[in-house]
Amino acid sequence: MKLYYSPNSCAMAVHIILEEIGKPYELALVDFSQAAQYKPEYLAISPKSKVPALQRYDGSVLTELPAISWYLAKLYPEAGLLAEGIEAEVRTLELLEYITATVHMRGYTRIFRPATFAPTKDDEPTVIETGRSMVIQGMNILEPVLGDKDYLLGNYSIADCAFFYIVYWAARRAHIPLSARLQAYFDRLMARPAVQRMLAAEGLH
């Protein structure tokens, strides 16, 4: 199993899952500073030019964070990262989809890549502000799901591994203030040894 990743990217979610599972795996750096995601070597792995990508034991490659997360949780049920039953699974997928497709793609991408959305350079501050509003709205929607529980669905799951990077980026990259409840959740996730191992491997804190 090999995870193609870039440090401090959404691949952190899969990196945490692999650490939680605890089976041997390889890490392959896709160096965004060298535009490695657009080079032929990586296009042969994923023509989407995105991380995460997971190369499996048979050599085939899986992309899209929700799909990879679900696959790993199902492959290693003993890790307990996905509750059993159709209702629990669909609620987990619902969260993963919202986290990646809405909060990340629509919100954070505007903050980190404003030029993609702005017709001119002068429009970029407005795009960033729109992105921040979308991220804050996303966190305002997810916080009541967390409620007074330790984790989004009660027990720790792949949904928390994904929500981790949303909250981590708020705290470390976008400087979006966390509510007391989200700060406590963030502290709880940061205290997990698997999260600490992921951060150390990616040169983060």
Ligand X SMILES: N[C@@H](CCC(=O)N[C@@H](CS)C(=O)NCC(=O)O)C(=O)O
What are the two backbone dihedrals, phi and then psi, of residue 40, each rounded to the nearest 5 degrees? -55, -35
One residue of 3, 45, 51, 128 binding ligand X per CB under 6 A: 51
Q: How many CA atoms are closer than 13 Å to the CA of 91, on its beta-carbon side? A: 16
**Smallest distance from the beta carbon of 197 to ligand X, in angstroms?**
20
User: How far is Cα 147 from Cα 193, in angstroms, rounded to an integer?
Assistant: 24
Choice from 64, 160, 185, 186 touching ligand X (CB under 6 A):
64
Q: How far apart are the first and last CA of the chain?
A: 25
Site string for ligand X, 100-129 (x = CB under 6 A): x-----------------------------
Interacting stretch for ligand X, rule CB under 6 A, among 47-55, 125-133, 136-144, 148-156?
Answer: 47-55
Smallest separation, CB 184 to ligand X (Å) = 25
Among residues 49 and 155, whose Cβ is nearest to ligand X?
49
Work out whether 46 is an interface residue with ligand X (CB under 6 A).
Answer: no
- Look at residues 162, 169, 163, 176 and name the one whose alpha carbon lies nearest to residue 132: 176
User: How many Cβ atoms from other residues are within 10 Å of residue 59's Cβ?
Assistant: 7
> Is residue 25 a contact partner of residue 72, using CB atoms and an 8 Å limit?
no
Listed ranges 19-27, 50-58, 132-140, 179-187: which one lies at the site for ligand X (CB under 6 A): 50-58
Among 3, 4, 10, 157, the residue binding ligand X under the rule CB under 6 A is 10
At position 120, the amino acid (one-letter code) is T
Question: Does 37 sit near ligand X (CB under 6 A)?
Answer: yes
Asked if 199 interacts with ligand X (CB under 6 A), we say: no
DSSP annotation string for 104-115: IIIIIHHHH-GG
Give contact residues for ligand X (rule: CB under 6 A): 9-10, 37, 49-52, 64-65, 100
